[in-house]
């Protein structure tokens, strides 16, 4: 599966996803580091990636066709907490369920929205 992580997703998460056999795009340390959200979105869509981010602004794309979005929204985020919530969300759904799915992980709850439920 192709996955695109924003710059706030910990390296431990990138490594864990790669160990699971996924193709993970990470801008850190590349000329694309710091690109705009729109540019990041365009790359994720072009490469058919599940997007993993801490930026709630990507909810604006909920009506666009996409390959899945995980948004981590924690009160006091740290690398360990972000990693745990990403992996929890990622492991809840099969690869073919992610297109059109948005999962928002908060401290103790999660919200799931699917384009497939929209008519």
What local confidence, expressed as pLDDT, does residue 93 receive? 95
Q: What is the pLDDT of residues 37-77, one digit of tens each?
A: 999 999 999 999 999 999 999 998 888 889 999 999 999 99
Q: What is the pLDDT of residues 11-34, one digit of tens each?
A: 999 999 999 999 999 988 888 888
For residues 103 and 110, the answer to whether their CB atoms sit within 8 Å is: yes
CB-based burial of residue 115 (10 Å sphere; 0-12 exposed, 13-18 middle, 19+ buried)?
Answer: middle
55: DSSP letter: -
Phi, psi of 33 (to 5 degrees): -60, 130
For 74, the domain range is 2-117
Domains held by the chain: number:
1
This prediction's pTM: 0.93
Partners of residue 71 on adjacent β-strands = 53, 104
| Nearest Cα residue to 50 out of 28, 73, 67 | 67
Partners of residue 105 on adjacent β-strands = 72, 110
Distance CA(92)–CA(36), nearest Å, equals 29
Q: Tokens standing for 9?
A: 């997703």
What local confidence, expressed as pLDDT, does residue 116 receive? 62
């Amino acid at each position: 599966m192709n996955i695109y992580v924003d710059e706030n997703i910990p390296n431990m998460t990138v490594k864990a996803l790669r160990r699971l056999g996924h193709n993970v795009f990470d801008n850190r340390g590349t000329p694309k580091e710091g690109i705009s959200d729109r540019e990041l979105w365009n790359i994720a869509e072009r490469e058919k990636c599940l997007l993993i981010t801490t930026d709630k602004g990507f909810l604006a794309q909920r009506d666009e066709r996409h390959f899945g979005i995980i948004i981590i929204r924690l009160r006091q985020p740290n690398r360990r907490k972000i990693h745990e919530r990403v992996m929890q969300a990622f492991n809840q759904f099969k690869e073919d369920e992610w297109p059109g799915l948005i999962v928002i992980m908060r401290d103790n709850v999660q919200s799931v929205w699917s384009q497939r439920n929209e008519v």
